[in-house]
Amino acid sequence: MSEYRPNEIEPKWQAFWEENASNRAHDNFEKPKYYVLDMFPYPSGSGLHVGHCEGYTATDIVSRYKRAKGFNVLHPMGWDAFGLPAEQYAINTGTHPEETTAKNVATFKRQLKRLGFSYDWEREVNTTDPGYYKWTQWIFLKLYERGLAYIAEVPVNWCPELGTVLANEEVIDGKSERGGFPVIRKPMRQWMLKITEYADRLLEDLDLLDWPEYLKDMQRNWIGRSTGAEVEFALDPETARGTRANIRVFTTRPDTLFGATYMVLAPEHALVEQIVSDEQKDAVQTYKEEAARKSELQRTELQKSKTGVFTGAYAINPVNNARIPIWVADYVLAGYGTGAIMAVPGHDERDWEFASTFGLPIVEVVSGGDVTEAPFTGDGPHVNSGLIDGLNNDEAKKKITAWLEEKGLGKATINFKLRDWLFSRQRYWGEPFPIVHREDGTHEAIPEEQLPLRLPELDDFKPTGDGEPPLARAKEWLKATDSAGRPALRETNTMPQWAGSCWYYLRYIDPKNDQAPWDAEKEKYWMNVDLYVGGTEHAVLHLLYARFWHKVLYDCGLVTTKEPFQRIVNQGMVLGLAYEFYETKDGQKVGYKDKEKFEDLLPRTVHADDVLWKGEKPYHPDADIELLELTEKMAKSRGNVVNPDSVIAEFGADSLRLYEMFMGPLEQMKPWNPRSVGGVHRFLSRIWRLVCADTGLSEKISQDPAQKETLVELHKTIKKVTEDTEELRFNTAIAAMMEFVNHLYKLDTVPFEVLPPFIQLLAPYAPHLAEEVWERLGQTPGIQTQAWPAWNEELLKRDSYQLAVQVMGKLRGTIDCPTDADQGAAQELAMKDENVAKHLEGKTIRKVVFVPGKILNFVAN
C-alpha cells in the first residue's frame, strides 16, 4: 500500500482496540487516575454532525495522552435519552419512544466508534434504562427524605399544544422552542426542589474550582445573591376592600425608601384579585391575560417599553406615611423575591422609565444628579429623607434598616435571584416519580425495594383531554396502596430531562451495580471529574443542578467530594457554511435574482451541498447567480449541517479529528470549511509517504544516527506537543508536528531513531495512522500503552540567541549573542554591527539597557 488509505487502516485498528479492550478503565486503586468526561448527548434522529465531534475529539486526545503518561483513565460515554423530542416523534408517528431512542443510540454509537474515540463502552449508560433510572428515583427519595422535594402551586410555562410545562430556556418569544406553539403562564401543581437552601454553598464553592472566570460569573449571576432589607407596606384601608394583609418587598436600597412613590405587583400576585377596584378590574384582567402569554425573558428584558395597569388601590409608605398607588406590571415576577417591589424612580432606571411613561411622581432622595432628566444611581448625601439626611449610601442603609427593625416594619435580609427548581413535566417519556398520593391529599414515597418504578406501556402519548399528563391513561398502573395498605394513586407527572443528567458521571464509576448506585471505594478513587468538556449552552442550568445534587449526596455521606467537576472547558461552536444569493449593481446588493426559479431557496439560503466553485468563487449550478458565503450555527434548516460519515468516507476519521483541532483554539468559535479538510489529509499523507512503502518501510529511512540539528528539532517538538496537549492548545501542537515533518522532508535520509517518538506524539491526534506506522516500525501494537516520550533539556539549551539592538528605543539591528555573554560582551558585539555603529557615530553613549535574552538599548546623544 503505497498510498495513505484510511478506509483500510481505520477499521483494522478499531477492531484491534475493541478485541484487546485497549480503552478499558480498571479499578486499580494503586495507579494514579484521570477522569475525563464529555457532556453526554441527546441521541437525536439526525445523528452527529461535525460540530458535535469537536469536544469529543478534544477529550479523546487528552484520554490517549494521559494513558501514555501512566494514568488509569476513565473516559466513558452514555445517552441523555429521556425528553420531549422522542415523545413528540412518538405522538406524530405512533412509534414508541423506546424504539426511537434505541435506533438513535445505535446511530450515534456507530458514528462515535467510526471516529476512533477511545471510550470504555463497558461503562455505557442510558438514562431511559430502568437499571439506571432506578437510581435516579432513589436519589429523588434522598431529596424527599430531607425535605428538599415538595409540591406547590406555581406559575409555569404551559404549552397547550404540547400538553406540558416548559422550562424558561425552552420558550422563545412566547412560543415553544420545539414546534413554535404558543405558551402561556398559568399556575399548576408541580414538584419543586429546594435548591435555594444550597444557594450560599453553590456560590462559595465556586472558589474551589478550576473553571473559566466567565463561567463562574454566569453561575454567580444566575444565583444572584443580594444583601438588603425586607420592608412591610400596609394597605391603605380606604382602598384595601377589607384586605388586611401587608405587602412585603425586598430591596437592596432601603436607603431610598423616602423616594418610593408607587408600588408594583406581579400580575400573578395573590393580592391583585383582592385589592383591584371595580373600575380597574377589566383592565387588570386583560393585562394579566397578556402577561400570561409572555416568557419571563420577554417580561424582564431591559430594552422593552414598560407596560402596566393601575389597580385602583394604594399602600402606605412606612417611613413617611405617604399614600402611594399600587400598579400591576409584567416586569415584576411572582417567583422572584416577594413578587412585589417598591418603586423609586429617582434612583432606578427601570422605575424611572415606568414613572415617565405613566406620569408618576419622581422624587430625589440622593443628591448627585438631575432626576428630572435621568435617574441617579450613584453614591451621594441623602436629601428629603428625614433621619438619614446627609448620610452616604452605606451609612444610610445601616441606619434605616436598624430603624425598620426597631419599629417592626422590616429587617435586614439576604435574597437570591435563584428560585426553587420546578421539577415536574406533564410528559410520558421521563422518569416516574416514586410517590403515591393518598385520598386525603397527603403523599408518601414508595419503598426502596419497589424501585425501579417502571413506565407503563402506552400506545397514546398525548396528554388527556382534561389536562392530565399521559400517565393518567394508565388506569391500572395508577392504582397503588400506601404503607398502611390504604388505596392511593401514583404520581402522573414525570421528572424533567435534567434528572438523569444530574448524576450520570457517578454511575459511570460503577454502571453495573444492582445493589447501589455506585461503590463507595470506587467513588472515593475516581472522583472528582478531572476534566469536563462541553458546550456553553449547559454553562448554567445543567452545571448548577448537578452541583446541587452532588452537594445533597455529600451531605448524605454518599460522595466524598464537595464538587463534582474540578476543571471545565467549554469548546467553541463550529459554524457551518450557508450561501446567500443576490444581485449586485455598482457593488451594492439590490435584490434577489431569478426569484421564480429559486423560490424554493428563498428567503435567502442555498444549501451548501448544492454549491459549486469557480476557483475561489462559489456559484449555483442551475443559474448564473452570485453567492455570498456565510458562517452560522449548524442547522438542518440552513442546509449547512455536515455529517461526519461523509467526511470520513472521503478523508478518513484521523483527518476529521485533526481538522477539528487545527481549526483554531478549542474555546473559540470557528467556521467549518470543507475545502480545508484536505489540508490536514495531505499532512497525514506526507507522514505515510515519509515512513511507509508498499510492503513495509520507505527506502528513505536510515539506521544512521540522527544529526544534532534533527535531534534538537525532535526534542523541541516533544516539549511543545507535550505542553500544548496538557493545556489543550491542540492547534499549536499540530502546527509543531507539521514543522517537524517539514524538517524531515528536507533531509536526504530520515533517521529511524526519531520516528517512534514522533509517532507517539501523533498518536492521540491521529490514532489509526499512528498505530499502523508504529506497527510498521517494528513496535508492539498498542501505542498508547507505551510511555510518553520525554524531551532532553540539555539538547534544547542554545549556545547563542538573536539579540535585538536598539539605539534610542529604535531597532537598528540583531546580533548572534552567546547565551553566557554579559552586558560588556553583548555591547561589544553590538557595536561591531554596521547599522548600529552608523547610528551611534558622533554620539555619546549615556546609558546601556541590557535585558539578557531579549534586548540591548543604547541611550546616546
Per-residue DSSP letter, 247:
E
User: What is the spatial distance between Cα 332 and Cα 291, in angstroms, rounded to a whole number?
Assistant: 11
User: What is the spatial distance between Cα 783 and Cα 760, in angstroms, rounded to a whole number?
Assistant: 7
Site of grid cell 529511512: 701
Question: Would you give the distance in Å from CA 711 to the centre of its chain?
Answer: 42
Is 636 part of any known ligand binding site?
yes
Q: In sequence order, what are the residues at sequence separation of 6 or more whose Cβ sits closer than 8 angstroms to the Cβ of residue 19?
A: none
User: What is the spatial distance between Cα 248 and Cα 409, in angstroms, rounded to a whole number?
Assistant: 10
Report helix, strand or coil for 304: coil
Site of grid cell 420592608: 231
Cα separations in angstroms, 335 against 154, 271, 338, 403, 542: 8, 14, 7, 28, 20
Q: Which amino acid makes up residue 422?
A: L
Site of grid cell 441606619: 399
CB distance 651 to 59 below 8 Å: no
User: What is the spatial distance between Cα 842 and Cα 840, in angstroms, rounded to a whole number?
Assistant: 6
Cα separations in angstroms, 633 against 45, 232, 641, 753: 19, 49, 9, 46
Q: What share of the chain is helix, strand, coil (3-state, %, to 5)?
A: 40, 20, 40
The helix-helix angle for 6-19 and 97-114 (nearest 10°) equals 110
Strand partners, 231: 249, 410
Strand partners, 629: 579
Q: In sequence order, what are the residues at sequence separation of 6 or more whose Cβ sits closer than 8 angstroms to the Cβ of residue 368?
A: 376, 378, 379, 380
Cα separations in angstroms, 759 against 5, 345, 380, 470, 754: 17, 68, 67, 57, 9
DSSP string, 133-154: HHHHHHHHHHHHHTT-EEEEEE
The C-alpha cell at 727 is 493545556
For 219-277, where are the E strands, in sequence order?
Answer: 225-235, 247-251, 262-265
CB distance 822 to 830 below 8 Å: no
Strand partners, 588: 585
Q: How many Cβ atoms are within 10 Å of 552's Cβ, its own excluded?
A: 22
Strand partners, 444: 436
CB distance 250 to 411 below 8 Å: no
CB distance 338 to 357 below 8 Å: no
How far is the first Cα of the chain from the last one, in angstroms, to the nearest whole number? Answer: 70
Report helix, strand or coil for 734: helix
Binding residues for ATP: 636
Binding residues: 636
